[in-house]
Amino acid sequence: MSFGQAIRTCFSKYAEFNDRASRPEFWWWTLFVVLASMAAGIIGEAASALFSLATILPGLAVGARRLHDTNRSGWFQLLWLIPVVGWILLIVWFAQAGKEPNRFGSAG
């Protein structure tokens, strides 16, 4: 999956929490959000706030779908609320290869 495809997929599945997301889809989306957030921050506070509002739901959705690909519940994203330990655990899980087969459907 390319950078553009990942962004299109995440925006087309804006609030889709019931599927699976590949590693490239998740990491390209993350790169897009980081780069666009920096650009919006340079433009101004209002632009940054609007961008954050526009991308929070698809970000949570792609995170849940990525965890589904590793056969984990999307609710594990709540670990972001636990500083350092939760963050490290989630990053490791997001980086893991998808498990096939799993309870969240087939990959792809």
* Cα–Cα distance for residue pair 64/75, rounded to 1 Å: 7
Question: Burial of 16 by CB count in 10 Å (0-12 exposed, 13-18 middle, 19+ buried)?
Answer: middle
Q: Domain coordinates of the chain in residue numbers? A: 3-95
- The predicted pLDDT at position 53 comes to 96
Residue 12, pLDDT score:
93
Query: What tokens were used for 28?
Result: 């390209």
- Three-state DSSP at 11 gives helix
C-alpha–C-alpha distance, residues 7 and 48, integer Å: 18
Query: What tens-digit pLDDT sequence spans the chain (108 residues)?
Result: 899 999 999 999 999 998 899 999 999 999 999 999 999 999 999 999 999 999 999 999 999 999 999 999 999 999 999 999 999 999 999 999 888 888 777 765
What is the residue whose two structure tokens read 């699976």?
Answer: 20
**Token digits for 31?**
């790169």
Can you say whether the dihedral through the CA atoms of 75, 76, 80, 81 is positive or negative? positive
Quote the pLDDT of residue 31: 97
pLDDT of residue 104: 78
For position 107, what pLDDT does the model report? 67
What pLDDT, on the 0 to 100 scale, is given for residue 103? 79
CA triplet 72, 57, 92: central angle to 5 degrees? 35
